[in-house]
Chains A and B, each alone.
Chain A
């Protein structure tokens, strides 16, 4: 579904992604993990067209995405749910959701789509007329995810959905993501704490200093790999 090969990218002269290759198959729950500040979010920004790719190739559903605008990429169904929600805080919950269906194909069916999102997140329906800035942290996360679902998403790239949430809410968000992955769209999850996604991940990539250093199914992902990165004693 999504193929990334030998991708290099960064901000100005600073290279963040050295040589990244990953692939996501339709229907598989793929997790990209690794310590903070090592390029996971940058990779998503390149994939969604916010940041230009330096070298390498990205194909989605068989078509190359290199040089495509962010709008064209969303239009094809590759949807990025950003870290920290990035809500439109002065718009209402409902207006935020409608913005998720901005592209004309999705806009025409926005009323059906919003019903589906409200089924998934009944809390959002209760709060539909409220400004997004008045929501609690958990509700904001729901809105961020719901807004992404309003598009014609085929593959949802979700960046750190557990960030800043209480443990009980983290479980709830992950249960919802599991449900979304089964019924709505394929999910590529960026998650620093792999344990959060232990039960739902099919395949895992471990990223460190801008490279994929390890990959495999959850079972193949030995505890040794994890501990060696997290405890910071790699190679020393």
Chain B
């Protein structure tokens, strides 16, 4: 019973991080109709930004979190102008596949640049807060887990406000849902694209800083998160915002339960089997719509 509770807590915390991470993929897919394979690398860059500030300037973790978000948002904008914008609207290429490859190239280049700058060795980073909170018996949560949950909730709540209430946010949803109509309302699609990439970068960066104390900051720190993000996005249904949140927590819980009861080596194989099953049974995900309905 106590083991189960511990697993559920851990699953929810990881689910929250996956939700922020994947939301970046979801927003970009909604607007641009391509998978941004640099999303994991955005998180890796966020982690390094926090580590640099903490280790070289002694900045407190919260400053690191903000710095990670800002740095990754900047990288998101850069990624857009280097590897996505030149492909938009080209008739001679398949945009979805080409942008997928070009953003994957950006991810590889970001990792390589980090190796050149800081070396290949893992760096440790302090959690946002230290210590553990005893709930009952042997069940406890670390304050870091609480902090992750709080940051994630603030991010998702803020994102929901932004998307549903603000002019800029509504225009992101409008471009995602009805591109021609959005243009007829006067929405400049080009600006919405880079704002969305900045937002994706920011979310990735925050997820990266939250993950950093749980693992390490390393040049490959974005590889596992992008795989988890893709898993979540596929289970959710590509481009579905609501689905992303549910799917992130489902994936987080499955992973934690499998790791606890079967062994942590089995977590990834189980998740990937899940992708295969979804691809066959429900390729449009839990909350997506089949293509014909989307039109």
CB contacts (< 8 Å) of B187 on chain A: these are 71, 99, 102
Contacts of A203 in B (CB 8 A): none
A107 at interface by CB-CB < 8 Å: yes
Known interface pairs A91-B173, A91-B177, A95-B164; A102-B185 also in contact (CB < 8 Å): yes
Encode contact with A along B177-189: 1 for CB under 8 Å, 0 otherwise: 1101111111110
A33: min CB distance to chain B, Å: 22
A70 at interface (Cβ–Cβ under 8 A)? Answer: yes
Which residues from A are CB-within-8-Å of B171? 99, 102
Write the nearest CB–CB distance from A3 to chain B, whole angstroms. 21
Q: Interface centre among B173, B174, B183, B185, by most A CB within 10 Å? A: B185
**Most chain B CB neighbours (cut-off 10 Å) among A70, A89, A98, A147:** A70
Distance A140 CA – B90 CA, assembled complex (angstroms): 33
Between B170, B173, B178, B180, the greatest number of chain A beta carbons within 10 A of the residue's beta carbon is seen for: B178
Please report the total number of B residues contacting A with Cβ < 8 Å.
17
When C-beta atoms are compared, the residue in chain A nearest to B183 turns out to be A70
Rounded to whole angstroms, the CA-CA distance of A91 and B182 in the bound complex is: 12
* 7 A-B pairs with C-beta separation under 8 A: A75-B186, A87-B181, A88-B182, A90-B173, A99-B187, A103-B185, A147-B185
Tell whether A86 is near chain B: CB-to-CB under 8 Å: yes
B188→A71 contact, CB < 8 A: yes
Contacts of B174 in A (CB 8 A): 88, 91, 99, 102
Contact B186 A88 (CB under 8 A): no
Interchain CA distance A74-B180 in the complex, whole Å: 13
Which residue of A has the minimal Cβ distance to B169? Answer: A95
Q: How far is the CB of B286 from chain A (nearest CB, A)?
A: 16
15 extra A-B contacts, CB within 8 A, seeds A74-B185, A102-B185: A70-B184, A86-B180, A86-B184, A87-B181, A88-B177, A88-B181, A90-B173, A91-B174, A99-B170, A99-B182, A102-B167, A102-B170, A103-B185, A107-B167, A151-B185
Which chain A residues lie closer than 8 Å to B188 at the CB level? 69, 71
CA distance A131 to B183 in the complex (A): 21
A211 within 8 A of B: no
Is A50's CB within 8 Å of the partner chain B?
yes
Assess whether B178 is in contact with A86, with CB atoms less than 8 Å apart: yes
Q: Is A186 an interface residue (CB 8 A)?
A: no
Partner pick for B180 among A82, A90, A107, CB 8 A cutoff: A82
Residue numbers in B under 8 Å from A100 (CB-CB):
185
Establish whether residues A87 and B178, one from each chain, have CB atoms under 8 Å apart when the complex forms.
yes
- Asked if A48 meets B184 with Cβ closer than 8 Å, knowing A95-B164, A99-B170, A107-B167, the reply is yes
Q: In the complex, what distance in Å separates the CA atom of A114 from the CA atom of B167?
A: 15
> Is residue A8 within 8 Å, beta carbon to beta carbon, of the partner chain?
no
Query: B-facing mask of A70-111, CB < 8 A → 1, else 0?
Result: 110011000110100011111100010011101100010000
> What 0/1 pattern do residues 25 to 42 of B give for CB contact below 8 A with A?
000000000000000000
Instruction: Determine the residue in chain A with the shortest Cβ distance to B185.
Output: A102
Complex Cα gap A103–B174 (Å): 14
- Give, as a whole number of angstroms, the nearest-CB distance from A185 to chain B: 15
